[in-house]
Structure 1
């Protein structure tokens, strides 16, 4: 009976995670489509403002996550309402993380080069959600080794994941919080030359510095940029003009007039 109950709880949790992931992906893609249409001046969509202040969509995302969190912690609903709250949380997370770079820089960098960090954050969090759907859960209390083994495993794995993050490997580091082997791989591999670890531990011109620069050439970043461009649209160049005019979402109006197209 206990085994059957645990199985039911696990399946319900993974189903909720699937609703959360599905909502997260759909809302992120829809949001990017809408903002690119706004940027191009096409379609019925327009910027939202209250009292002359532009209302970024991360505001709606924060409200969505708050409502979902309060509903889950207060009422602990069973399916299907559990799935409704999971979908609401996923939608809110997509709206909020789509403007993650704005949180970090405290500036409207949505269409700037720094704004790419938002897409990186969305991809990483989406991967974490996918692992939850597959059943990865390092905080599962069901362990035959006892509480001390569980706590020790979480601490060691957490340290390895943090080390991977400091080495400039955000995907391996964040995924490593759920899958210990991934954290170990990120912790032992060579750091990226622009990472905090490399700046502190790899003196300029040292053998490790040269190896890191050979291992992570600039063309690797350009390949990733091409993927991000296809999903999220091209950022402005430093002069504020869309590079090459290749992006169908390019807006030729001055930067101040584009400011609301987020």
Structure 2
């Protein structure tokens, strides 16, 4: 284990990235445990307030991200300073992304259905950083031969093609596939070749006069969501806690 760590993490200079990822995941887990205890009214924890203002943990998170980021830029990339900056950055990023939905909606949606976006963003971030640690390079540059790497035109062409595939996948409404496709080009290629989601930019542009293609896209999206939405929500509930039930809307009297 020590030899593998030295060869694959320390020697390539990935130790700060590993420390940042570990701090990020640990901070998210600890934060969710504490917030769930607060929600259940258990333990010594409580919301932090400054007067009448509820101070969300995204606030210290932003401060830590800034401190860790500038600390990393000021250092030399190795040594104790780089490791400390990575840990500070990871802790801050965990606090910030745990309230990603709050930033997105500019509202306290932590325990609502919209708050699931925070859990999804944390999982995606951890997975992408894990791929970087495993040796994947954005746009598939790691797949090029030494001869191709010395050819600037070949590198630029490979990056351009992979970026185009990711962009097409994104325009087809497949944001997760596009994001992972930046790291793993084969994923972007799959997303670029498959049917677009019916509410995507691609569908509105290219399926407008193709009713059969649009109907097929609607049917595929329906079956996909029906198959995977339940398991995905169950995993999100297990990781981040089940959202509060949405109260029924009152009937309007006319």
In structure 1, what is the Cα distance between the partners aligned to 2:24 and 2:132?
13
Residue 218 of structure 2: aligned partner: 213
In structure 1, what is the Cα distance between the partners aligned to 2:210 and 2:101?
32
Distance verdict in 2 for CA 1:183–1:13, change over 3 Å: farther
Cα deviation for residue 179 of structure 1 reads 2.0
Distance verdict in 2 for CA 1:51–1:205, change over 3 Å: farther
Cα deviation for residue 158 of structure 1 reads 2.2
Return 106-115 or 167-176, whichever deviates more.
167-176
Structure 1 or 2: larger helix share? 2
Residue 117 of structure 1: aligned partner: 117
What runs of 5+ residues in structure 2 fail to find an aligned partner? Answer: 1-6, 249-254
Distance verdict in 2 for CA 1:192–1:180, change over 3 Å: same
Residue 235 of structure 1: aligned partner: 243
Cα deviation for residue 45 of structure 1 reads 0.8
Residue 258 of structure 1: aligned partner: none
1:2-41 aligned within 5 A: 11-41=11-41
Matched, 1:151 2:156: yes
Secondary structure of the residue that 1:108 maps to in structure 2? coil
Cα deviation for residue 99 of structure 1 reads 1.1
Cα deviation for residue 199 of structure 1 reads 4.4
Secondary structure of the residue that 1:144 maps to in structure 2? helix
Give the counterpart of 1:179 among 180, 184, 197: 184
| Total equivalences in the alignment | 234
Matched, 1:198 2:203: yes
The answer to whether the 8 Å contact 1:160/1:187 transfers is: yes
In structure 1, what is the Cα distance between the partners aligned to 2:71 and 2:84?
10
Matched, 1:163 2:171: no
In structure 2, what is the Cα distance between the partners aligned to 1:158 and 1:14?
25
Superimposed CA distance per residue, residues 150-169 of structure 1 (whole angstroms, 9 cap, x where no aligned partner): 33333332232232223232
Distance verdict in 2 for CA 1:12–1:198, change over 3 Å: same
The answer to whether the 8 Å contact 2:75/2:81 transfers is: no
Cα deviation for residue 48 of structure 1 reads 0.8
Q: TM-score, normalised by structure 1?
A: 0.79
Residue 75 of structure 1: aligned partner: 75
Cα deviation for residue 77 of structure 1 reads 4.5
Structure with greater contact order relative to length (CA < 8 Å, sep ≥ 6): 1
In structure 1, what is the Cα distance between the partners aligned to 2:10 and 2:211?
50
In structure 2, what is the Cα distance between the partners aligned to 1:136 and 1:56?
35
Return 44-53 or 161-170, whichever deviates more.
161-170
What runs of 5+ residues in structure 1 fail to find an aligned partner? Answer: 1-6, 241-262
The answer to whether the 8 Å contact 2:138/2:183 transfers is: yes
In structure 2, what is the Cα distance between the partners aligned to 1:54 and 1:201?
47
The answer to whether the 8 Å contact 1:14/1:134 transfers is: no
Q: TM-score, normalised by structure 2?
A: 0.81
**Aligned-residue CA RMSD in angstroms?**
2.6
The answer to whether the 8 Å contact 1:161/1:174 transfers is: yes
